Amino acid sequence: MLKLAPSILSADFANLLEDVKKIERGGADYIHVDVMDGHFVPNISFGAGVMKSLNGKTELPYDVHLMIENPDKYIEDFVTAQTEFIVVHQEACKHLHRTIQNIKKQGIKAGVSLNPATPLETLEWVLEDLDLVLIMSVNPGFGGQSFIENSLDKVRRLAEIRKSKGYNFLIEIDGGVTLDNAEEVMNAGVDIAVAGSAVFKAENVEERVKAFKKI
Ligand code: DX5
Ligand code: ZN
């Protein structure tokens, strides 16, 4: 079954908890927390404070996607009892192996994300340490962009590597996921799909989550 991580980047910030309650009732699996610094990506979103404002108010675990330079400096800020994954970008890490260990030292599952132009091979020597690999299916920075089709080839190749080497990491995809392509995404080997606008811009957010979960 495809797990769903709705991105609160597309939520109504003035009614964040209400929106989170809707996805919770719909059966979402995680809250995807998109953190943007205006340097690594050309947009600024929010920081750990916004995420922490939800602590204890929802049962959903956090899937933290750090689209920031120098992630090591901020990892601790995102560690809470509800933080399941902290995901950094390969392109933002000078010492990726060290960053992964820094996340794990906090008792949090470690993920690495790849931009559309970054080859899978850049992860070869850290794959065995990872709990999650996030394949970007848009260029990070904004919600509501269209899905880059060849990301599915990347997912398929990654799933093959995982199988042949016996690795355990989960495969996540992020960007442009809709009800129309969710099944294809799942069949390519994705375990967790992130969806922002396809969830929060729906007329009925709770029903939309349920529709995703039926796939
Ligand atoms: C893009 C973010 C995504 C984005 C997804 O930089 O990492 O999580 O919010 O939004 P949609 O699903 O609208 O493409
Ligand atoms: Zn994201």
Closest CA to 9 of 212, 204, 201: 201
Mean pLDDT per 10-residue interval, the chain, length 215 residues: 97 98 98 98 98 98 98 98 98 98 98 98 98 99 98 98 98 98 98 98 98 96
Cβ–Cβ < 8 Å for 169, 131: yes
Residue 88 C-beta-side C-alpha neighbours within 13 Å: 29
pLDDT of residue 106: 98
Q: Which amino acid is at 215?
A: I
Give the per-residue pLDDT at 45.
98
Domain count, the chain: 1
CATH code for position 147: 3.20.20.70
Establish whether residue 155 lines the binding site of ligand 1, counting it when its CB lies within 6 angstroms of any ligand atom.
no
Pocket perturbation via mutation, ligand 1, pick of 134, 142, 172 by most ligand atoms within 8 A of CB: 142
What is the span of the domain harbouring residue 192? Answer: 3-213
Q: Collect residues with CB below 5 Å from ion ligand 2.
A: 34, 65, 174
The pLDDT, as a whole number, for residue 214 is: 96
Tell me, what's the pLDDT at 37? 98
Question: pTM here?
Answer: 0.98
Q: Which helix (H) or strand (E) holds 48?
A: helix 48-52
- Paired tokens of 38: 């205006």
